Amino acid sequence: MARLPLLAGNWKMNPASLDQALTLAGAVEAAAAGWREGVEVAVFPPFPWLLPVHEQRRPESLRLGAQNCHWADAGAFTGEVAPSMLRGWCDWVILGHSERRTLFGETDEAVARKARSVIDAGLGALICVGEREDEHVAGRTDEIVGGQLARDLAKLTPADAARLVIAYEPVWAIGTGRSADAAHAGPVMDRCRAGVAAALGEAAAAGVRILYGGSVKAANVAEYVSLESCDGCLVGGASLLAEEFATMIEVVAARGLEAKR
Ligand code: PEP
């Protein structure tokens, strides 16, 4: 099955103003519009910018996602947002990002519950997995990533695979400028697909997109998307730079168009 590459920009808690968010989203959409056959482009703004960006965008050119949500549909959860509240405004929700796991205590059990609710709400779940530096140095990458995937996918079924994307993001590569080299990332992404197959079956796993994330920029994105195992990238810091991200869109789209030939 041909998988359309996905280039996703995680804006984190940026940019500072709504004007900047709308300008950035407009520039990304303009850059993406001509490349729809080769790449799906998504941005993940902070919650307050999500609705205005949605109102400005054309959904066929620019997909939109949230950076987090709760698993419940409603209730006494101060500060939280339900997946059902996001329906109609966005397409995806990032779950299990390392910053949420490390800084906000998001567990695999929470990721699994959220993934179930996000998909039940008709949205897609972009689940991040990856090992910490000490685990990397100890040669435990496969064990860590395999364990996270098994736990994170525990509440999903093969029918959910169409709404699932996995991002392999080594924690030591996020925001550090130390991107993982392709010789490391490629085999781990293969193991991610094997992990999805173990949880949801081979047929389901064949259609799931596996992304790489961790200090991706225009200068190194080709390294990842030219790997057979890689279906795109999740980009943090460089997704805030409109021209840089536009170059990445072109590189990833070229790979997507080539794969179709
Ligand atoms: C991320 O936040 O998911 C990420 C990969 O960040 P960066 O590209 O800045 O390393």
The neighbouring-strand residues paired with 168 are: 129, 212
| DSSP states along 134-154 | HHHHTT-HHHHHHHHHHHHTT
Structure tokens at 168: 């392999």
The reported pLDDT for the residue numbered 259 is 87
* DSSP conformational letter for 160: G
pLDDT computed for residue 196 by the predictor: 98
Ligand 1 close to Cβ of residue 26 (< 6 A): no
- Does the annotation mark 80 as catalytic? no
Show Cβ contacts of residue 134 under 8 Å, excluding neighbours closer than 6 positions: none
Contact 82, 73 (CB under 8 A): yes
CA 76 to centroid of ligand 1, rounded, Å: 32
Percent of the chain with pLDDT over 90: 98
Ligand 1 binding pocket mutation candidate from 6, 7, 10, 212 (most atoms within 8 A of CB): 10
In this prediction, residue 241 carries a pLDDT of 98
Report pLDDT digits (tens) over 83-128: 999 999 999 999 999 999 999 999 999 999 999 999 999 999 999 9
Element containing residue 96 per DSSP (H, E):
none
Side chain identity, residue 221:
V
Task: Decide if pLDDT at 1 tops 60.
Answer: no
- Non-local (6+) Cβ contacts of 53 within 8 A are 21, 22, 25, 43, 45, 64
Q: Quick: pLDDT tens for 125-184.
A: 999 999 999 999 999 999 999 999 999 999 999 999 999 999 999 999 999 999 999 999
Q: Is the CB of 236 under 6 A from ligand 1?
A: yes
Q: Tokens in use for 13? A: 């808690």
Q: 121 and 87 in contact (C-beta within 8 Å)?
A: yes
74 Cα–ligand 1 center, Å: 30
Closest residue (by CA) to atom 8 of ligand 1?
A: 236
Does residue 232 contact residue 255 with C-beta atoms inside 8 Å?
Answer: no
Collapsing DSSP to helix, strand or coil, 233 comes out as strand
% of the chain beyond a pLDDT of 70:
100
Compute the average pLDDT of residues 70-75.
97
Our answer on whether the CB atom of 8 is closer than 6 Å to any ligand 1 atom is no
Omega prior to 46 cis, within 30 of 0 = no
- Residue 17, SS3 per DSSP: coil
Q: What is the pTM of this model?
A: 0.97
Catalytic-residue membership of 40: no
